[in-house]
Chains A and B, each alone.
Chain A
Amino acid sequence: MNKLMLLIRYKLKMWSNIPLRRGKRRIPLSLYILILSGVFIGISVPLYLFTLDLFRNYSTIIFNGISLADLFVEISMIGIFVLVIVTDTPAIALNVFMSEDVDFLLSLPIKQSTIFISKNLETIIQGGFPALFVIPLLISYANATMMPWYRIIVMFLMYIIYFMIINSLSSMIALGVSKVASRSGTQRFMVFTSLIVYVLSILLMSTIGSLPNEKNLTEAFASYINTINLPFLPSTWFINAVNLRIDGILPLIITSAILVFVTYRISSSGILSGYSQMKSATKHVKRRNYNLKSPTQAFISKDLKLMRREPSILFLLIYPAIFPFFLLIGGLMRKGEGSIANALTGGILISIFISSMYTIIATASLISIEIKVGEFIKTLPVGNRTPLWSKAFVITGAFAIVMMITFFILSAFFGGLILSVITVLLSIPVLLILSFFGVYATVKWPNSIGGARRPLNTTGNFVSMGIGFLGAMIATSEGLYFSGNRILFSPVYEFLIFLVAPIVGEIIMAFVIFKLLSKIDWANPYEIENK
């Protein structure tokens, strides 16, 4: 226990030391916690208020002994299950079973289970944040259903037990993964599993998306209960347990206990050490062919490979392809006059919006990979700007192509091809500018421990969200203008506000960002202070 506290204390120390190394003041841990709680409260209070009404209405709708409110909680529990498994499993695999400092820790006289627990906690602290947002939801559920205090306590206890199930499961999956795959293999494996889970969560979302459909509510409700309220799902146990039913409490506690015990035992009995080493290659040296390109092409082709093999970037690329379909599903459900056309325009715009927001982060990821090998790049006879242009080009191109394909599929069903092409073309300059901002952000606000998954620190994330939003507004306003949807009464104002202003904004943005970029040494973010 002492050693566990020691490990955790030193990890916290390392985290709070990071700004120090860059020559800045240390952020006191308390301030950090304060900021995080601020974010948490900022999100959970509106969430609480929003869901309170929802639960009040839903708690009166009861079918087969289950209220719609219960069902809603169940869906959220499934959601959080999926979310935590997706985010935690690869994180645990890389952080716990494949991390380099585990090798070091294993050489110390510390029990393996202690290392496992401390590393696991570390991962939860970093990646388990989403699980906290269930708390306001549960409170508002408790409030709306007028739960007595002891049931609220039971509910939160059950939530902790529920979370232990999820965590043990992801640890086990992570362990399995770490046994069969090498480090770089795991990262690619992550893409694969994430994609599967992604498809599953889309299915889930689309079921939620079509929730109360007043006409045949009972019928729909019944089908929900059949699909979601399955007796072997932990989420079902959870809601039963909250309702103080023994067939919920018992399986939840027993499963959790077994899983935690097994995970703990496995982790303590020597499995932690060593992921499968690279098998020694064949003795025979193969004769192979080499493809040579021009220097610029070489950079682009290399960056394409790195992008393709970086799961976190691939992830960002999926979103603009998926969100339009959500909107369309909604539009199809409503079946109202013109709702499909609206949903289509909405889908195109949201896709552009998301692409703009994510271009910055995707470029930042790619740049952070380059910064890691920055010293090597600096010894090459290429200009300082070549690597930057190549990355901006690759990322912008990737988002543009994803949007194009998505819109082609959409327009094959619903028409509107010309609008799609115009909006994609219009958004390309904005994406390019944003991508260059991503370069700047990575150098200005690097997160030295985040790697390619989290290339920016907190400030960087906030600022790029702001800039991304600005860029997204510009791109979508232009798109909106050409979509022919008129919002303002005067065509002149429409022209000025939705076309001229965005273009002027774009030019100013480009100017400012290039100005900023020229001042920094991109390959060496930690050098800035030394100059």
Chain B
Amino acid sequence: MTELVKVSNLKKNFGTFTAVKSINFSVKSGEIYGFLGPNGAGKTTTIRMLTGILTPTGGKIEICGLDLLTHPLEVKSQIGVVPDEPKLYENLTGQEFLEFVGSIFSMDKNEMKKRIEELCDAFEINFLEKFIGDYSHGMKQKLMLTSVLMRRPKVIFLDEATVGLDAKSAKILKMLLRKYADEGSSIFMTTHVLEIAEKMCDRIGIINAGEIIAEGTLSDLRNESGKQSLEDIFLQLTGSTDEEVREIIQNL
């Protein structure tokens, strides 16, 4: 299988603070990669570097075989990004926004129409004629998802994409991502919901304080740590144990 995302020695400093310390990983075609870590660990920073929003301090990012730094436009036309906090044009309607995105990616009109209709049905989107400024968080999230999924990008980055979605939409999103992965896409997602990671992700990377401290399939991680649930593994790796958490609770 081909590696659609390949990251080597990726690093990011904000002033004197190092948010991401020289990380390495790759995501293959057909794979869903789960990126876990405590708050402030560097997940969003990593995604922002992988999608061309932030310039890395050092390291190399290859997506679909192309270097992001030297071929930003070619890479960007192949990827889709769902950010943690969708910030969109408040004075455009949902439909105008989708038209804008479709035009930028030079989509075929009929195909786009068909896919949007499918996605609208799936996510129960019936507010495309309203202005985005009046959307709720979940509605913005759905619009953003539609604008990404309608393009069927080769690589999809999602930063806590299920936050704000209702149960049914979250379920549909999970199934759609699985389907796209099975059709050959690579999916890189961060989440705090360990259950999602457990059920969906083919491989999991755990980042803490800017360093990847464990990586592998769920069974790899289980074998390594000797624990069964991902929660216990996560707590152990990020430096706290079940007992410790219990003690904290007791002292509160």
Contacts and interface: CB of A to CB of B under 8 A. Distances in A.
- Interface residues of A toward B: which range? 35 or more
B130 A375 contact: no
B15 A529 contact: yes
B83 A285 contact: no
B74 A283 contact: no
A86 to B, nearest CB: 21
A284 B112 contact: no
**Interface footprint category on B:** 35 or more
Contacts of B98: 290
Given A379-B81, A382-B104, A287 B117 contact: yes
Contact of B130 (A281, A310, A379): A281
Interface stretch (A292-300, A396-404, A410-418): A292-300
A288 B89 contact: no
Tell me the dominant secondary structure on chain A's binding face.
loop
Interface string B3-46: 00000000001110000000000000000000000000000000
Nearest to B113: A290
B236 interface: no
A301 B96 CA distance: 10
A278 interface: yes
A295 B103 contact: yes
Given A184-B131, A184-B134, A282-B126, A380 B120 contact: no
A184 B126 contact: no
Contacts of B72: 381
Interface string B60-90: 0000000000001111110101010011111
Contacts of B120: 285
Contacts of B74: 381
A298 B51 CA distance: 22
A291 B83 contact: no
Contacts of B106: 292, 294-295
A111 interface: no
A527 B101 CA distance: 25
B221 interface: no
A285 B120 CA distance: 7
B103 A288 contact: no
B169 interface: no
Interface string B186-197: 000000000000
Nearest to B144: A376
Contact of A289 (B81, B102, B103, B113): B113
Interface in B48-64: 48, 51-55
A383 B79 contact: no
Interface string B96-111: 1011111111110100
Interface string A490-526: 0000000000000000000000000000000000000
Nearest to B15: A530
B192 to A, nearest CB: 20
Contacts of B125: 285
Interface of B: 13-15, 48, 51-55, 72-77, 79, 81, 83, 86-92, 95-96, 98-107, 109, 112-113, 116-117, 120-121, 125-131, 133-136
Which 7 A-B pairs rank lowest in CB-CB distance, beginning with the nearest?
Answer: A298-B103, A381-B77, A184-B133, A381-B76, A309-B91, A184-B131, A379-B81
Given A291-B99, A372-B87, 20 more contacts: A182-B131, A278-B135, A282-B126, A285-B121, A285-B126, A288-B128, A290-B99, A290-B109, A292-B102, A293-B99, A294-B103, A298-B100, A302-B92, A369-B91, A373-B88, A379-B52, A381-B77, A383-B73, A530-B15, A531-B55
26 contacts: A184-B90, A184-B133, A278-B130, A278-B135, A281-B127, A285-B120, A285-B126, A288-B128, A289-B113, A290-B98, A290-B112, A291-B99, A292-B99, A292-B102, A292-B103, A305-B92, A309-B91, A375-B53, A379-B76, A379-B79, A380-B76, A380-B105, A381-B73, A382-B73, A527-B54, A530-B14
